[in-house]
């Protein structure tokens, strides 16, 4: 594997050891160090209280944001409704959707409760307007009876333009509170007025917004940053040093569409020269340039970029190189310690901005979703505040090598930093605040001459939504701003000593479970792997080397625990067809007979073990898969063409299946359940295995679905004969061996690899099979169903999950960047080889061209290649037949529709079964009637008036597996869901990656029989029910009745 690591003098990768550190232990260590001397602790609380009381007493210069948070907050329907409007309204191009969004959000609030309560005329005016608007918009819902409905309708129609104009103006006013100017020149002009009035000393301008998705986006941001530097330079006194002048802040993800740790080689080759160019321009003008802090997974790569900049000869005399550090990250203080070392090594001075952090919610959720061992951030506000103080102390101790900038809107933090600096004898430092927030605090502190305002610059329709999302995401800090000026909250509570809070405990949030405990005590979450860490990537590289350098696989049937190998067909790698992994021997008639006989004979004994004992074997298998995850992922990369993220998700899903079904077996299959009935009689219901289950699994999930089917059947008391897809028999062979190594009785599970038309046909026709679980194509499911129907003997269940023609409906309120991300992942992730994958997206005419442009740009950033490499986004399709079918479909689309774009498969297409992802625009839904199993995304434009009809047309195709909706309108969600019911609907997120027990998976119609895999009803379909009724009075009376 190629070396994609940037070698720097400081081992930034070593910081990964702290990324998921135990929060309680970390805070305990900080407390033992003694973060603040007792006099400073007491002084900070006292000074903080004075600031709060002073700000409240002055009662003026309260920013709109403070007034808004004080009045509405973010935890009630009114506050959230306004934030939703601010996030979406300005980007909606059509008046009809604007009106729908306004009506829906305003109806949701009790605006009368807020009328006249705020001391801000703007908030009060808004409340009155919203209350009146709510009455007008809500009137039809309250006037459905009587003749007044007609009159009310006229009022509503005539009022809509006025309401719309008022709301648009309100959003622009809110935008001006957050955004200093549409251009840097405009921001500089407005900033000069603020400096003159004493509100600020300097500014740091940033072109904030969503990160780049395309090269075009990155180019636009790059030009904007260069223009900003030029404008600031032109406005600057050349004699002033960077800390005494305005500067710029740069968001690295805006400058490159794939700014990720796994893309390190590309980032250093493409992004670094751009950052260096910006820094050289800033250095020439002698202004500060600060690299913004972003998500935790980008920290190490940002530090590697920073070190390279620090060692650049062209920047050696410049003292304006800056970096933002997030105190909510557990690695923050270690970062500061290394920055101090780097400053001394390079004889440089750095400008370091200490912030609390703005992505808290997403960091918590991401760690839980990815199954990490812990969180990269503190879970309590007081934990972050204590770490902030520890970081501040370290920064001041490193002065003058570090010029400190403390970004805070927290009165206690400000007071404590001031006292720490005085104690350390440091006078050269500054505070920072976000434009539109914190004015009352800094006015009370009379610190305007020491404050730099972090000032977003850009169009309101771009910036306001971004800032609102950060505000909503960072609830802990906004709750402080809310309480700071609220007279009902005691000042002592607002500035309570965070160290005392941590000392008192708890030291981690009791209601935020760590990722392993996400599902409570009953089921442990599957363990994930953080590919942003070089050590994790190294583990996978080592496993791959072991596989590649090891002996060829020899696989075949496993009967009663004994492998039958030798001979068979060569198994070739779909990414490199010239290489063979090994050989797979097909089960013959004798193997099939012996497996069925052994499974039939052992099933009664297996059933008698009971659910709790069977669950022990499934828990053991789950643990075994986690212990062997790297080896399984390497094998799937070679045999199935799975990328590393897909392989990680696959192992986790298999583990989750085992633990989830084990939990159900422990509960539902433990003992008979007594049913209600008359006295003198007992009635008990018990669940039992049906017999031998035949599990037929697909190649696209060679471990997860293969294991999930088996685990469910075993948990319910059945023995299993498993027939995997012929393309992925090696993975199935290793999985069955792992089952047996984990302790599963040899006769409980047998492996019968081979083709469907031979092995599959023989199994489904055999009377010893008591049930079939199948995942695959609809036509194959029909064939199995006919075979089972034609058998003499008992009618047995067929549990079938098949494909779908999965649609995504997008409206004009949707966020373009989020839509692009989810469409790319849903359509092209796993090379489109998921039954849940997005096949057709319905996009509104008003935004279609802009969205298509972004989609094509994002497609161009995908890396096709060896799926075992961490930088690869898309691997091959499974075999020659799959590629041929895709090529044939695309050729038809070129004749009948319009192929907008297709990527070149490049070397992957030459060496293996690579197929370039393609984007096709249809003119009619009639042009596609079934799923195309691969990386082909179809688009169909629509007018808003036709959305219900189009959804109904999609339903008429007969499938019902997954459905996606991207909209900020609940009415749109509901209309689409009603018109096109499916098994799994995903709103404002991707359409793939259903999690066991969280999103039970399965379709309806042509997409499957149900019940849903990974859901509460699945196991019961594998079982038969028995009831025993006993007349206990036959022996002389009812003991329970007699004992009353």
The alpha carbon dihedral of 90, 93, 99, 103 has a sign of negative
Q: What is the dihedral of CA 430, 433, 438, 444, to 10 degrees?
A: 10
Backbone dihedral angles phi then psi of residue 670, each to the nearest 5 degrees? -80, -50
User: Tokens 């260069």 sit at which residue?
Assistant: 226
Residue 765 to residue 928: CA distance in whole angstroms: 34
Joined tokens for residue 602: 């052992």
Centre a 10 Å sphere on the Cβ of residue 965 and count the other Cβ atoms it contains: 26
In the residue annotation, 773 being an active-site residue is answered as no
Joined tokens for residue 32: 């033992």
Q: Calculate the CA 94 to chain-centre distance.
A: 30
Question: What is the 8-class DSSP label of residue 486?
Answer: -
Residue 727 to residue 839: CA distance in whole angstroms: 24
The alpha carbon dihedral of 1001, 1003, 1007, 1013 has a sign of positive
Centre a 10 Å sphere on the Cβ of residue 95 and count the other Cβ atoms it contains: 11
Catalytic position from the list 307, 835, 861, 931? 835
The alpha carbon dihedral of 716, 368, 27, 40 has a sign of negative
Residue 695 to residue 439: CA distance in whole angstroms: 66
Question: What is the 8-class DSSP label of residue 242?
Answer: G
Centre a 10 Å sphere on the Cβ of residue 452 and count the other Cβ atoms it contains: 24
Catalytic position from the list 264, 801, 861, 931? 801
User: Tokens 């299959």 sit at which residue?
Assistant: 669
Q: What is the dihedral of CA 55, 56, 60, 66, to 10 degrees?
A: 90
Strand order in the sheet with 1023-1031: 673-674, 681-689, 1023-1031
Centre a 10 Å sphere on the Cβ of residue 906 and count the other Cβ atoms it contains: 13
User: Tokens 């195309």 sit at which residue?
Assistant: 932
Joined tokens for residue 745: 């009785």
Residues 6+ apart with CB under 8 A from 756: 696, 723, 726, 780
881 exposure class (CB count in 10 Å sphere: 0-12, 13-18, 19+)? exposed
- Give the SS3 label for residue 206: strand
In the residue annotation, 835 being an active-site residue is answered as yes
Residues 6+ apart with CB under 8 A from 621: 658, 707, 711, 738, 739, 742, 744
Joined tokens for residue 677: 């009935």
Helices and strands (H and E) in the chain: how many? 39, 28
Catalytic positions, please? 801, 835
């Amino acid at each position: 594997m190629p070396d994609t690591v940037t070698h720097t003098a400081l081992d930034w990768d070593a910081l990964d050891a702290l990324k998921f550190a135990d929060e309680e232990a970390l805070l305990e260590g900080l407390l033992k160090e003694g973060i603040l001397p007792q006099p400073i602790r007491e002084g900070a609380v006292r000074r903080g209280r004075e600031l709060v009381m002073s700000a409240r007493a002055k009662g003026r210069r309260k920013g709109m944001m403070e007034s808004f948070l004080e009045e509405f907050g973010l935890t009630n329907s009114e506050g959230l409704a306004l934030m939703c409007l601010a996030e979406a309204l300005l980007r909606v191009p059509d008046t009809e959707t604007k009106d729908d969004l306004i009506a829906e959000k305003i109806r949701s609030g009790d605006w009368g409760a807020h009328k006249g309560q705020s001391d801000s005329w703007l908030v009060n005016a808004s409340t009155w307007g919203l209350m009146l608007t709510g009455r007008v918009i809500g009137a039809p819902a309250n006037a459905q009876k009587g003749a007044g409905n007609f009159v009310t309708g006229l009022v509503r129609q005539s009022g809509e333009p006025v309401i719309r104009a008022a709301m648009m103006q309100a959003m622009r006013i809110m935008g001006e509170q957050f955004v200093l100017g549409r251009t840097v020149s405009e921001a500089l002009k407005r900033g000069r007025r603020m400096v003159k009035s004493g509100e600020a000393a300097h500014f740091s301008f940033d072109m904030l917004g969503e990160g780049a998705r395309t090269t075009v986006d990155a180019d636009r941001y790059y030009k904007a940053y260069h223009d900003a530097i030029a404008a600031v330079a032109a406005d600057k006194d050349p004699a002033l040093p960077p800390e005494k002048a305005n500067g710029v802040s740069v968001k690295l993800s805006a400058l490159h569409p794939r700014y990720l740790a796994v893309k390190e080689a590309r980032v250093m080759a493409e992004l670094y020269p751009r950052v260096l160019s910006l820094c050289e321009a800033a250095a020439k003008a002698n202004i500060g340039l600060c690299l913004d802090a972003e998500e935790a997974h980008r920290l190490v790569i940002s530090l590697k970029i920073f070190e390279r900049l620090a060692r650049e000869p062209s920047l050696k005399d410049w003292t304006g190189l800056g970096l933002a550090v997030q105190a909510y990250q557990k690695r923050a203080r270690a970062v500061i310690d290394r920055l101090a070392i780097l400053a001394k090594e390079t004889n440089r001075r750095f400008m370091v901005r200490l912030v609390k952090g703005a992505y808290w919610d997403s960091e918590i959720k991401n760690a839980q979703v990815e199954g990490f061992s812990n969180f990269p951030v503190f879970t309590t506000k007081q934990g972050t505040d204590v770490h902030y103080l520890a970081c501040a102390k370290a920064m001041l101790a490193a002065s003058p090598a570090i010029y400190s900038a403390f970004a805070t809107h927290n009165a206690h933090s400000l007071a404590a930093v001031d006292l720490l600096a005085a104690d350390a004898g440091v006078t050269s430092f500054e505070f920072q605040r976000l434009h539109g927030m914190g004015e009352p605090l800094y006015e009370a502190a009379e610190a305007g001459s020491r404050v730099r305002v972090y000032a977003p610059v850009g169009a309101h329709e771009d910036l306001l939504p971004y800032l609102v999302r950060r505000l909503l995401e960072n609830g802990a800090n906004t709750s402080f701003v809310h309480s700071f000026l609220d007279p009902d909250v005691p000042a002592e509570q607002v500035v309570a000593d965070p160290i005392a809070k941590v000392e008192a405990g708890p030291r981690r949030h009791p209601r935020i479970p760590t990722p392993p405990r996400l599902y409570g005590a009953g089921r442990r979450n599957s363990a994930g792997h953080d590919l942003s860490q070089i050590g994790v990537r190294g583990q996978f590289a080592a496993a791959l080397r072991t596989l590649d350098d090891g002996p060829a696989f020899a696989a075949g049937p496993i009967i009663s625990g004994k492998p039958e190998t030798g001979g068979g067909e060569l198994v070739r790698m779909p990414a490199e067809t010239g290489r063979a992994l090994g050989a797979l021997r097909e089960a013959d008639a004798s193997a099939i007979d012996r497996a069925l006989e052994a499974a039939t004979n052992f099933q009664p004994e297996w059933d008698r073990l009971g659910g709790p004992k069977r669950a022990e074997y499934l828990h053991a298998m789950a643990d075994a898969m986690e212990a062997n995850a790297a080896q399984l992922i390497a094998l799937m990369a070679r045999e199935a063409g799975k990328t590393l993220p897909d392989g990680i998700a696959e192992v986790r899903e298999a583990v989750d299946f085992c633990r989830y079904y084990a939990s159900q077996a422990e509960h539902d299959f433990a003992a008979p359940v007594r049913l209600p009935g008359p006295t003198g009689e007992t009635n008990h219901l018990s669940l039992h295995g049906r017999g031998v289950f035949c599990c037929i699994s697909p190649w696209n999930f060679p471990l997860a679905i293969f294991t999930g089917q088996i685990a469910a059947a075993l948990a319910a008391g059945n023995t299993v004969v498993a027939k995997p897809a012929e393309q992925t028999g090696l993975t199935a062979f290793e999985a069955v061996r792992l089952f047996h190594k984990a302790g599963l009785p040899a006769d409980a599970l047998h492996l019968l690899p081979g083709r469907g038309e031979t092995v599959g046909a023989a199994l489904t026709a055999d009377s010893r099979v008591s049930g079939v679980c199948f995942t695959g194509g609809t036509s194959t499911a029909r064939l199995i169903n006919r075979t089972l129907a034609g058998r003499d003997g008992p009618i047995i269940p067929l549990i079938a999950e098949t494909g779908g023609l999965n649609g995504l409906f997008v409206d004009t309120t949707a966020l373009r960047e989020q839509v692009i991300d989810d469409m790319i992942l849903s359509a092209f992730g796993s090379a489109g080889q998921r039954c849940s994958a997005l096949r057709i997206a319905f996009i509104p005419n008003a935004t279609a061209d802009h969205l298509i442009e972004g989609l094509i740009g994002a497609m161009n950033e995908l890396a096709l290649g060896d799926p075992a490499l961490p930088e690869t986004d898309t691997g091959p399709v499974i075999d020659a037949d799959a590629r041929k079918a895709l090529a044939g479909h695309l050729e038809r689309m070129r004749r009948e529709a319009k192929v907008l774009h297709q990527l070149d498969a490049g070397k992957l297409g030459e060496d293996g079964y690579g197929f370039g992802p393609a984007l096709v625009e249809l003119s009619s839904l009639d042009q596609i009637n079934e799923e195309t199993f691969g990386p082909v995304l179809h688009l169909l434009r629509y007018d808003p008036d036709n959305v219900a009809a189009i959804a109904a047309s999609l339903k008429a195709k007969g499938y019902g597996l997954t459905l996606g909706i991207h909209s900020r309108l609940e009415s749109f969600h509901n209309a689409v869901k009603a018109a096109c019911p499916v098994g799994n609907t995903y709103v404002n997120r991707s359409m793939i990656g259903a999690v066991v027990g969280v999103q039970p998976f399965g379709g309806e119609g042509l997409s499957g029989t149900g019940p849903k895999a990974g859901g509460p009803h699945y196991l019961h379909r594998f079982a038969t029910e028995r009831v025993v009724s006993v007349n206990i009075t036959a022996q002389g009376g009812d003991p329970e009745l007699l004992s009353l």
